[in-house]
Amino acid sequence: MPTLRLALCQVNPTVGDLAGNSGLVREWTRRAAGAGAGAQIVAFPEMVLTGYPVEDLVFRRSFVAASKAALQRLAADLDADGLGAVAVLVGYLDADGPPQVSGDAEPGRGARNAAALLHHGRIVATYFKHHLPNYGVFDEDRYFLPGDALSVVRVGGVDVALTICEDLWQAGGPFAAARQAGVGLVLCVNGSPYELNKDDVRLPLVQRRAAEAGAMIAYVNMVGGQDELVFEGDSMIVAADGELLARAPQFVEHLLVHDVELPPAGEPGAPEQVLADGMRVVRAEAGDIPPAPTGPAVTGGTIAPVADEAEVWQALVLGLRDYVNKNRFPSVVLGLSGGIDSAVVAALAVDALGPDRVVGVSLPSQHSSEHSREDAADLAKRTGLDYRVEPIQPMVDTFLANMSLSGVSVENLQARVRGVILMALSNQEGHLVLTTGNKSELAVGYSTLYGDSVGGFNPVKDVWKTLVWRLAKWRNADAARRGDTPPIPENSIGKPPSAELSPGQLDSDTLPDYDVLDPILIGYVDGDLGRDGLVASGHDPAIVDRVLRMVDTAEYKRRQSAPGAKISMKAFGRDRRLPITNRWREDG
């Protein structure tokens, strides 16, 4: 059987950076085809040329035209680089008509989520994504029209089918067509965002599609952060019988090179064939590719999965690093209260950016305990970040001397003064302000609007409070295992959580214990359970009613919250979209 040396380039593009992304493709193709690698086919992720997702940039004809022109230039540049003989598959934005939202829209024509196979300076084949996801963070029905043809390209004596991401997540369509077309390999390019434990779902899914297609599947996924999304890679090659042949690591750029034995192509089929379900098969031929590899077979290896906490920590670090770097912020600043949330955010920031790019500010008031001040200073010493102290009480007293405030108004005033100081440091020194509210607090509105919620990015926005504690313990244990200083003070982990905005205040004064609260929130927010479902699950009806009222009335706060990396099945923002003005209540 023919042997092909296949390279999956798990790379980190930036949305809108057509020149930079083209350079990424050229650089990684050079690495894949170079000495010691010798790849004959190189595949890149979904829409790697434009970055993904491009959202409403799809509607800008100038951007679509630039994407198509960049693809043509890339094909010519690869040829000029001496890489023209290598078959290179790249995702990009295409269009065969005006945007569907325009007055001159044409039925059946418009923007396309596309992939193109480049060879010898030309575009040999183009594939338009067939299944368009329209759930969770995806709005592809808003942007794209589906393709109705499966592109099959003969490369090195093997028939290779081209597919894109969601095509893999649904039965039928392109993979069923691939079986009827008799292909030996399906290349699937992906922009599949991270969720906790999604890697456990992905392998069985690829195995099901391999069985459906009766062919080997090479799955290449993007890596990196894009606003609230994190792409973790986890690229893989699975044989037709479901055997996992190679698997890339998560959360890092990676070149996966693997020799695959594939069935030879049969007699050339008709250039175009209509299948029973209405899909068309369109065939093309790439021509000569570099010689078949000699010597020992090259294997890509397989990476063992890591613990949940390690996986989430890597996702949060990558999401934060790319948000800061891709938006060209020089550094970040955050308030250090001595509590667990700010400690975890500070440790994430140091891991993502290094201590020289992180400023931590202690903002004590008259209610700040001595142990909280000491814990903030201890964290700064452990991590080496730039530590400052800015007492807020003189500023609070000035407000109170000019306004008659009491109770929760005074508590919120303290939080807002802290926000003003952090934003002032941001304006003065150019830092991005990180806010530190966890998902549990965001869910029930336990935050001060324009106070502790102030900031440009929230690394723990999608992290439940109980998971925040687990992450802190894991990070410290991981540091100890490696012989490093644990970054998070044990006092910050062990003490009862408190906003310290009034004497002796604890979170439990206002909220149920987090061990009770989080399971209710997970059921209501992530699982869309109603009141009856939550009570049937064993939760106290009175507590359920109380929690649901807090969640429902805090929607206006969440709508104004900073973006943060998505790590759950349903994050606030892109995933969970509810009206602010809404009189429906689960308690009737």
For tokens 């893989």, what's the residue? Answer: 236
Q: Answer yes or no: are the C-beta atoms of 198 and 160 closer than 8 Å.
A: no
Q: Is the peptide bond before 53 cis (omega within 30 degrees of 0)?
A: yes
Catalytic residue, from 9, 46, 309, 465: name it.
Answer: 46
- How far from the centroid of its chain's Cα atoms is residue 299's Cα? 28
Which tokens belong to 334? 């955050």
Which tokens belong to 267? 């007699």
Q: Which of 478, 477, 471, 476 is nearest to 488 (CA)?
A: 476
Q: DSSP class of residue 250?
A: B
Q: Is 27 a catalytic residue?
A: no
Rounded Cα distance between 106 and 108, Å, is: 6
Strand, coil or helix: 363:
coil
Measured at the CA of 391, the angle between CA 389 and CA 392, to 5 degrees, comes to 135
Q: Which amino acid, one-letter code, is at 448?
A: T
Q: Answer yes or no: are the C-beta atoms of 352 and 320 closer than 8 Å.
A: yes
How many angstroms separate the Cα of 93 from the Cα of each of 22, 127, 308?
13, 11, 34
Strands 332-335 and 432-433, by their bridges, are: parallel
Q: Is 129 a catalytic residue?
A: yes
Rounded Cα distance between 136 and 166, Å, is: 13
Beta sheet of 87-95, edge-to-edge order: 122-128, 111-119, 87-95, 41-43, 3-10, 254-261
Catalytic residue, from 68, 129, 461, 465: name it.
Answer: 129
Region for residue 503 given its phi and psi (left: phi exceeds 0; alpha: psi -120 to 50; beta: otherwise) = beta
Strand, coil or helix: 299:
coil
Rounded Cα distance between 557 and 549, Å, is: 14
Catalytic residue, from 9, 68, 140, 165: name it.
Answer: 165
Rounded Cα distance between 40 and 493, Å, is: 52
- How far from the centroid of its chain's Cα atoms is residue 491's Cα? 32
- How far from the centroid of its chain's Cα atoms is residue 402's Cα? 47
- How far from the centroid of its chain's Cα atoms is residue 351's Cα? 18
For tokens 């794209």, what's the residue? Answer: 144
Measured at the CA of 293, the angle between CA 288 and CA 298, to 5 degrees, comes to 135
Rounded Cα distance between 27 and 9, Å, is: 10
Residues recognised as catalytic: 46, 129, 165
